[in-house]
Amino acid sequence: MPCADAMLLYGIRPYKYLIHGMKIIIILLAILSSAGCKQPNSQALSTEAKSNTDQHSTTDYKTIQEIPTPSGYARGSTNTGSFEYWLRTLPLKEDKTVYLYNGMVKPNQSAQFAVIDIDRSKTDLQQCADVVMRLRAEYLFSQQLYDSIRFMDYNNKWYNWKEGNNRPAFDMYLQEVFGWCGSASLEKQLRPVNNFESIKPGDVLIKGGFPGHAVIVADMAINNSGEKIFMLVQGYQPAQDVHLLINPTEESLSPWYSIPNINEIITPEWTFTKQQLRRW
């Protein structure tokens, strides 16, 4: 099933497929199945036989902040109520296997360093940009900043959370957001970061479009020379467990990423440019 972005581009309402199951929608979804988060030049990474031989490998780290920094680097201090601190303290599952929304094991098990301990979608809705919106919304919900929970679709319609500390209704609200919003709309909603060197936790690397993709900066460290390194979290297509990415180009630094000298930020399943950095 394609990302909501692709369906909206062709005038297909995601819930129409989910609720009505009309044959014409199913046919169009099959045609558009390649228009999700997959990037043409990274297709091989996610489909070739690169699965870990031990799909059920484990991690000893309980949270992102327990992952050690490389020698010479240290995390900066953050306010305990900040988005940066909330992301840093996201819990990790012991099992590093990434499962799809339907319970099947994701074919490519080489992209993740660890799996975030947050429930995955039971439908094929919580994909790439949806995970970024989910994490932001969960943080704001945990801080009771309800009026700040709002997301915009591609037609500039806002979906505002209005029911306070109502968790069941909040979960339903998120499904609505995932159905109508995506990478194209989120890219419009977020503010461009003109200087990549100013990257900070909570920032988003995003390519809005059809296909599109998004990852979020989950943690950061710095050395005495002022050089920054960071870690990235993503969801993907089909909907699957949220996971912390490896660094495929600097294995000795992985899962940390350094700010590259070139214009590209190469992740296991997508390549971004520095101009695609955005901020809430």
Give the tens place of pLDDT for each residue, 62-102.
999 999 999 999 999 999 999 999 999 999 999 999 999 99
pLDDT digits (tens, 9 = 90+) for 103-148: 999 999 999 999 999 999 899 999 999 999 999 999 999 999 999 9
For the segment 201-209, the average pLDDT, to the nearest whole number, is 97
Q: Determine contact, residues 258/125, Cβ cutoff 8 Å.
A: no
The pLDDT of residue 267 is above 70: yes
> For residues 7 and 17, is the Cβ–Cβ distance under 8 A?
yes
**Which CB contacts under 8 angstroms, 24+ apart, belong to 80-84?**
81/143, 83/136, 83/139, 83/201, 83/202, 83/280, 84/200, 84/201, 84/202, 84/220
Q: Cα–Cα distance between 272 and 270 in angstroms, integer?
A: 7
Provide CB contacts within 8 A for 115, sequence distance 6+.
92, 93, 95, 96, 97, 98, 241, 242, 243, 244
**Angle subtended at Cα 260 by Cα 35 and Cα 265, rounded to the nearest 5 degrees:** 5
Close Cβ partners of 74 (under 8 Å, ≥ 6 residues apart): 221, 222, 223
Binning pLDDT at 50, 70 and 90, where does residue 30 land? very low
Residue 37: per-residue pLDDT:
76
Question: What spatial distance separates the first Cα and last Cα of the chain, rounded to whole Å?
Answer: 28
What integer pLDDT is reported at residue 57 of this predicted model?
A: 86
The rounded mean pLDDT for the chain is 86
Helix (H) or strand (E) segment spanning residue 60 = none
- In tens, the pLDDT along 160-195 reads 999 999 999 999 999 999 999 999 999 999 999 999
pTM: 0.85
